[in-house]
Structure 1
Amino acid sequence: MHRGILVDLLDRNDDHVAALPSGSFDRQRDGQRPGVVSVCCSDSRVSQEGMFAVEEPGFLFTSGAIGNSVSALVDGERVLDGSVAYPLGHTHTEVLAVVGHTGCGAVDAALTAARTGEFPAEPGVRADVEALLPIVEAGLTDPAVVGEGGDVAGDRAGDENADNDADTSVRDRLVEYNVHEQVAFARESEEAADATVYGFVYDLHGVYGDRDGAVYLVNADGERDPATLCDLVGEAHADHVATLLER
């Protein structure tokens, strides 16, 4: 038994309890009305509450999914995942934030599957990667992701370090591409028809800028033009707008 981890969890909860101001749940005990539902990749390095400095209960409804997927397969049909549909339909939440992250292992696994046909062995993980596969395959035909020459990283022989760098670059562009596709799927769903949907990428590799932990807005209700997004966020937050997919 991992007693050390258990004790650490309880110590951390004690810290959490001590940090909560008195009456923190007074307005939340009988219900919730979060301002935003966030869908982020299930990755220990990417804290949804942490990236938005959420310390108070009731602001952020969180959903974690491999590859920050907003969909679920129900009776053979792709539908908006319940963890997203529920707050939009039942807690008066009107904003959905889809958050990918650099170095995403799920996107990397789907990229490997697209190139080699190899999938993770675990059935549940395989199913999640299979759901991402059509998005990655479509991305690998998009010049904004792979350049005019196609999937160069997958086809090119040569210097190993150069190939690895190219693989990393393609993967991170696919991360952003996947965010756009998840935003599009959500916006096409009946449950999110009246919601505002934002797409972000959380950067922990210095890909978009030089600030570890910064989120970069790449999509707002389907709008992807950086200049338009900069106008939306204002001058003070223009450094939170970036893209790897400029055409």
Structure 2
Amino acid sequence: MSRRALVDLLDRNDDHVAALSSGSFDQHRDGQRPGVVSVCCSDSRVSQEGMFAVDEPGFLFTAGAIGNSVSALVDGERVLDGSVAYPLRHTETEVLAVVGHTGCGAVDAALTAARTGEFPPEPGIRADVEALVPIVEEGLSDPAVVGSAVDDANADGPADGAADEDPDSHADTSVRDRLVEYNVHEQVAFAGESEETADATVYGFVYDLHGAYGDRDGAVYLVNADGERDPAALRDLVGEAHADHVATLLER
């Protein structure tokens, strides 16, 4: 047991308590009515509360899953995960935000599995990766995923015939990040077809920590709104002040 980690956790909780305003829980002690449920990849670099500057209780219902998956396998059937379905059906939550992120290890593992048949040995991790493999395989057949990545790799490749130590590395990174966005679209589509989201709005975002969408680390980029993926339409939706939060790696 790491005592240093334990002390760090308690110190951080002291900071949390000190930062709470007086009466923060007064309206929430007997129940919750969060406006948004967020499904984000389980990754230490991607804080759901942090990315949306949530520092008060009651606004954001959070669900973390490998590969920001919104589904669960129940009796052989894919259904909306309980952590997503619960707030939508029982706390009057009206917005679902599906948030992928650049450099996603789960998508990378699914990409490796799709190409080589190799899966992580841990049963729980393997099951989560297996759920992503069909999405990755579909994405690999989409020219917007693979074609654009190859074009990017060629455009950014060494000039004047210079040797590249790993000629596939940039293409693979581009493919992975495009698959991240592709996966967000697929998760939004699955959620949108679920009975539990009938009265909800479903947004898809990508959290960028690699400069793939823009030059602001930690920015979220809207890529989908209830199935709408056209950047111009999404910019109209968010308005001029937030137009820089709309981008896509999957231009067709």
Give the structure 1 partner of residue 50 of structure 2: 50
Q: Which residue in the other structure is 1:33 paired with?
A: 33
- The residue type paired with residue 35 of structure 1 is G
8 Å Cα contact 2:149-2:174 kept in structure 1: no
Letter in 2 for 1:166: A
Quote the Cα distance in structure 2 between the aligned partners of 1:148 and 1:96.
Answer: 29
Hey, what's the Cα distance between the residues in 2 that align with 1:127 and 1:196?
A: 28
Deviation at 1:69, TM superposition (A): 0.1
Alignment correspondent of 1:121: 121
Partner of 2:99, secondary structure, is strand
Moved over 2 A (4+): 158-162
- 1:194 is displaced (CA, Å) by 1.3
Alignment-mate amino acid for residue 29 of structure 2 = R
Partner of 2:234: 229
Question: Does the CA contact (< 8 Å) of 2:40 and 2:64 recur in 1?
Answer: yes
1:3 to 2:8 alignment: no
- C-alpha displacement at 1:147, in angstroms? 1.2
Amino acid corresponding to residue 215 of structure 2 in structure 1: D
In the alignment, residue 132 of structure 1 is paired with which amino acid? L
SS in 1 for 2:29: coil
Match of 1:146 in 2: 146
Match of 2:157 in 1: none
| AA in 2 matched with 1:182 | Q
Aligned to 1:89: 89
Partner of 2:248: 243
Question: Where does the alignment leave 5 or more consecutive residues of structure 2 unmatched?
Answer: 154-162
How is 1:1-247 mapped onto 2 (pairs within 5 angstroms)?
1-147=1-147, 159-247=164-252
Count matched residues.
243
CA separation of 1:225/1:212 partners in 2, compared to 1, >3 Å: closer, same or farther?
same
| Cα deviation digits, residues 169-212 of structure 1 (max 9, x gap) | 00000000000000000000001111100000000000000000
DSSP 3-state at the match of 1:106: helix
Question: Matches of 1:36 and 1:143 in 2, distance apart?
Answer: 33
The question of whether the paired residues in 1 share the 8 Å contact of 2:149 and 2:175 is answered with no
Please state how far the C-alpha of 1:161 moved relative to its aligned partner.
2.8
1:37-71, Cα deviation, whole Å (9 max, x unpaired): 00000000000000000011000000000000000
**Percent of aligned pairs with the same amino acid:** 88
The residue type paired with residue 243 of structure 1 is T
Matched position secondary structure for 2:167 = helix
Q: Aligned-pair RMSD on alpha carbons?
A: 1.7
Quick one: distance in 1 between partners of 2:222 and 2:127?
28
Q: Which amino acid aligns with 2:82?
A: G
| 1:96-121 Cα shifts (integer Å, max 9, x gaps) | 00000000000000000000000001
State the alpha-carbon separation in 1 of the partners of residues 91 and 236 from structure 2. 30
Which amino acid in the other structure matches residue 218 of structure 1? V
Encode CA deviations 1:114-158: one digit per residue, 9 max, x unaligned: 0000000100000000000000000000011011899x99xxxx9
Q: Secondary structure at the match of 1:191?
A: helix
| Counterpart code for 2:37 | V
Amino acid of the residue matched to residue 44 of structure 1? S
Distance 1:123 1:110 in 2: 14
SS in 1 for 2:168: helix
Contact 2:206 2:220 in 1 (8 A): yes
